[in-house]
Amino acid sequence: MMNACYSGNGRTGLRALILPVTLAVALVALALPSRASTITFNPGNGAISNIGSFSYTPGNVVAQGAITTPGGGPQPGNSFNIYYQSILQNVLDPNSSPLAGAGAGGNFNGSGNEFTVIAGFREQITSGAVAPGGNLNFTVTSPNAFSLSTSTPNFFEIFATAPGSADPTAGTGFWHPTTPILTGHIVPPSGAFGTGNFGNIITTPTPLNGTANPSPLDGTNTIQGNGSTQLLVQVDTFNPAFFPVNPMFLTFSTSNFLPETHVTPTNKFSNGNGDANVTATPGSLNGVSGPDVVFESDSSNGFLAVPEPSSIIPALTACTFIPMFFSFRRRRSGQTVA
């Protein structure tokens, strides 16, 4: 007579095995590479499809509290808040060619809407110094969650508003009390995302305002240089009237410059809790005096798709059959003959 014999230790071992195997396979599925994608966007007068990226007008940015020692410039280890604001300028196809749209302050594609964007996150200087030919490196330190905290902000928001509402020089009209059409948060550093730099530094003072327009910061000089930032944004909420399908992830890239020559410098920014409720104080020499540093940013965002269902299904199948396989092996090895 043949009896099946299962020990308590065998069942415990099987349960202990199923969880790590399942988690491992699930992690492999999640790690499958995402790919660039296109979306459909409705600015208010009809959908535009095959959009590969959004381009924004040159915008203003402040690194709030980047300088902790007056006159010392940013130092490795310094943490600070970044606040960015701009206006959607155009939508581009996957080859970066314009599909439709209008410039800053315009009636976007005849839709009756202007679209503003604000972002806030926390960074830390990891290396470098403000010196001739020097280079500063940064990394994002915001937690992986949507936050409008004044100490650890982490938000990305796009608003639909009336044309001409935003005033880049005054720093007003970028945040609105109405519900934004898209909200998201910055994902912690991963690969090339969540990092930035500012290099080719020239310490010889030059006027911060390189435009012909009067600025609230006229009379302020600045160091010179340029750099970039690469961020990954996870979408938290979206308005289906403007985004028929959830964009899910945005790749947000910025090119940063001093002096500011394509947008008039401002000293007013939104921290996501109100309009123009942050006042920047760059001191007499922006980039050295502090406590804040203001600069110009030319930005755009692309879109990432999650792995196709066809690539996830095999992993999910493995999650089901691998534990079953080990269960079968356990049963076979536990058989005894009476």
Give the range among 203-207, 236-240, 269-273, 322-326 with minimum mean pLDDT: 322-326
Claim to verify: residue 156 and residue 243 sit in the same structural domain: yes
Claim to verify: residue 277 and residue 322 sit in the same structural domain: no
Give the range among 27-36, 133-142, 181-190, 310-319 with minimum mean pLDDT: 310-319
Indicate the number of domains in the chain.
Answer: 2
Q: φ, ψ for residue 73 (rounded to 5)? A: 70, 175
Give the range among 9-13, 216-220, 255-259 with minimum mean pLDDT: 9-13
Contact criterion met (CB below 8 Å) for 188 and 233? no
Claim to verify: residue 50 and residue 69 sit in the same structural domain: yes
Phi-psi region of 65 (alpha: psi -120 to 50; beta: other; left: phi over 0): left
Claim to verify: residue 326 and residue 243 sit in the same structural domain: no
User: With 90 as the cut, is the pLDDT of residue 16 above it?
Assistant: no
Nearest to 168 by CA among 282, 81, 89, 76: 89
pLDDT at 34: 58
Claim to verify: residue 165 and residue 197 sit in the same structural domain: yes
Q: Which domain holds residue 72?
A: 35-306
Claim to verify: residue 302 and residue 329 sit in the same structural domain: no
Q: What is the pTM of this model?
A: 0.81
Claim to verify: residue 9 and residue 68 sit in the same structural domain: no
Claim to verify: residue 53 and residue 121 sit in the same structural domain: yes
